[in-house]
Structure 1
């Protein structure tokens, strides 16, 4: 009698990854990677109720989107612990604090270091991998330094034309270890790409941990190092592991699972049908979004600018919201699609004007930014409801969080890819927006024709 065949390897049952996204666009990017790899995932737009969670109990990825990227450390101390406790209760082998692929953060706003300290206490693990690089979205890390490409040209992040000029968290240090050291006392180490390519990754990981490193940045330059990073995380996870990083973490895990025969190759996802009309709101100041706005205005969209300086006064802002809503509905009556925005790139005079208005009013910038995001969401809420639209786009990482909450959506699942990091989603809501197709687009994501592609249902890679 022949010996029994060895059992084929398999991923454990239940949720594989439980994650919190520090902004809505980034959180939807994690959902995209897992979902289109054949691992059904749900993203809640706030801490779910037991009934809401039970509706998606078969999901392999479960995430909660938030707005930590735009908040101070004191906010994190108050808001993150109960969310992390909810993630811990899911008992996934990997818990992930998802950050932007351009590492947007500072000691004062969106502190990844403070989130790491809270996560270490509540989500545990013997070490904490940090994976930011992701070739699929043109993010690369070499010897701990982060690079991002635009239109095929790569930039070290402290020389990046967008991130070096970010209005809230400008990047002036490309080494993620040094950048993170400004935000936390947790020691940060590195497993570099040379160690990964020469079979010394485990040895370097062990040496760094022995030297006291708690957070270990893993270089990712190409598909080989991506899969090697995923292997380190999965094989060295222990009983549970708290990880930090972009959707690069999920890309790495998927790459390794496929290499190891734990996951089948990706099946193509059919594109969605064309929408007759859509509405777009944008609070992004990115030059990439500016190019997308310019393209849209030449291709069937009509721009409606909201004066963000009015957000320093609540009553003036209410009047501006009402004006924007009325104008958007009128645009739809003409057969065009409304694009409601507050700025068109970093050089738009609206950007410094808002800063001056905030300073003159003596109001906290975070409060004004939240009010702007909420106002854009309320405009979109009213326009979608009154015009009966079935598809919408929210552009801007910080904007998406506040605007998404204003829509009353409690969860989304991925429907189809549009651009890496910005999938078209199906919304779940208790009210009118249940079933709405929506995309949360980060400022750095998508080609110039992204908004047209979102309307037409065409993948924008």
Structure 2
């Protein structure tokens, strides 16, 4: 194993797997801490945790356990992967987990590089941008679990950790690997232990990754994997693996389960409705009153035309979301949505559904657990950060696990064109 990664949510793990696979590494995604059978043989293994929004102490415990397993499996470099929008509150979890992993590896310097230019996430002078807007001016300011009100990542991270936080600006990055390594040394000598790094384009990620070739622990979004994987490719440590254009899928019906309230997901739902896909809203008040249930939602999807893609969604706009949270509580309402969509997925699986598109990291975590999926192989890219995947343990399913903020408006429409029905045995 060349790279062992710990991802703080399911969709982020899949995003990272796609980047590693596209760069030529044989990559496997494992849901949660693996059982007694241990780790599969692969160039890169990504352990997907559900630790982004849990208490910091719990996130640290899970992340350290995952890191120990990866190191025992021979990982040469560890990557702690979090969201490209740095989703975390002042109480954690990026800072505390980074501290713990530095201590575990005996390292005294790492970077924090959330940037993902292909998805519009860039960092300039330490400030994170989403497209042309500062993070604090973007829709992420209304995130239901981790609202981001400060775009200055040095300040954000400094509120989460006692370790000194430094910055390497784009002026240095564009001067190449040697300049970046020198900047790392200068910052380290000045007592800094975690360095925010500016990134405006993929070439910057490759430069940064090259400068991190000797770093035992790297932290960031999936973009930094471009440079980390390239180090092993240049060294001749990786065999060639052609990129996949399509993925074989088991025979079965298709469904979209959307728990994200992001602007991107709401646009995708609207596009699905405009294209006359059958859509059904999950209504929290109706659930609580007994007028709606996971069983009734599943029954609705089952009676739709066999060749259609049904869309079941709970995605509210910011105003509606605030009303729901005020009435039901933020965590209680979120937990109800996740549990309901997970049960819908399980019921549909029993009814012959085998193709799932899940929108939202928390929703994805609940759904894959309900479906009994534990290990995934990575297929073709649907959109930046989102591939099709297929289960290689447990039930035979294909899944697209989409971060709420990813994908264009037609994502729910075009994703299925990359699947081909697997030929039946004769």
Query: What's the counterpart of residue 369 of structure 1?
Result: 334
State yes or no: 1:399 paired with 2:363: yes
Q: Deviations over 1:214-254 (max 9, x none)?
A: 112222112432221011111x32xxx12211002202223
Q: CA deviation at 1:257?
A: 5.2
Shift of 1:429: 3.5
Normalised to the residue count of structure 1, the TM-score between the two structures is 0.84
Matched, 1:119 2:101: yes
Give 2:226's aligned residue. Answer: 251
Structure 1 equivalent of residue 271 of structure 2:
295
Which residue pairs with 2:163 in the alignment?
186
1:66 matched to 2:36? The reply is no
Q: Is the 8 A contact 1:302 1:331 kept in 2?
A: yes
1: CA distance, partners of 2:308 / 2:276: 6
Mind listing any 5+ residue stretches in structure 2 that lack a counterpart? Answer: 420-426
- The one of 340, 357, 372 equivalent to 1:408 is 372
Alignment of 1:263-342 (within 5 A): 267-272=242-247, 277-309=253-285, 320-332=293-305, 335-342=307-314
8 Å CA contact retained: 2:102, 2:108: no
Partner of 1:428: 392
Q: 1:194 to 1:168 in 2, by over 3 A?
A: same
The SS at the match of 2:47 is strand
Find the partner of 1:36 among 5, 10, 22: 22
Alignment partners' CA distance in 1, 2:241 and 2:276? 34
Aligned residues: 417
Secondary structure of 1:51 counterpart: coil
Change (3 A) 1:19 1:318: farther
Following the alignment from structure 2 to structure 1, what is the Cα–Cα distance between the partners of residues 141 and 235? 39
Match of 2:205, SS state, is helix
- Structure 1 unmatched ranges of 5 or more: 1-14, 360-364
Normalising by structure 2, we get a TM-score of 0.90
> Distance between the aligned counterparts of 2:332 and 2:393, measured in 1?
26
Relative to 1, partners in 2 of residues 1:379 and 1:273: Cα closer, same or farther, differing over 3 Å? Answer: same
Residues 255-287 of structure 1, C-alpha deviations (whole Å, 9 max, x = no match) = 555677766888442223698741010110011
CA–CA distance in structure 2, aligned partners of residues 377 and 245 of structure 1 = 29
| Residue 142 (structure 1) aligned to one of 99, 118, 124 | 124
* C-alpha distance 308-122 of structure 1, shift in aligned 2 (>3 A): farther
Aligned counterpart for 2:412 among listed residues 422, 445, 451? 451
What's the CA shift for 1:294?
0.9
Q: Secondary structure at the match of 1:270?
A: coil
Which of 90, 110, 132 is the equivalent residue of 1:107? 90
2:12 aligned residue: 26
Tell me which residue corresponds to 2:65: 82
Q: Which moved more, 1:189-198 or 1:29-38?
A: 189-198
SS of the equivalent of 2:187 reads helix
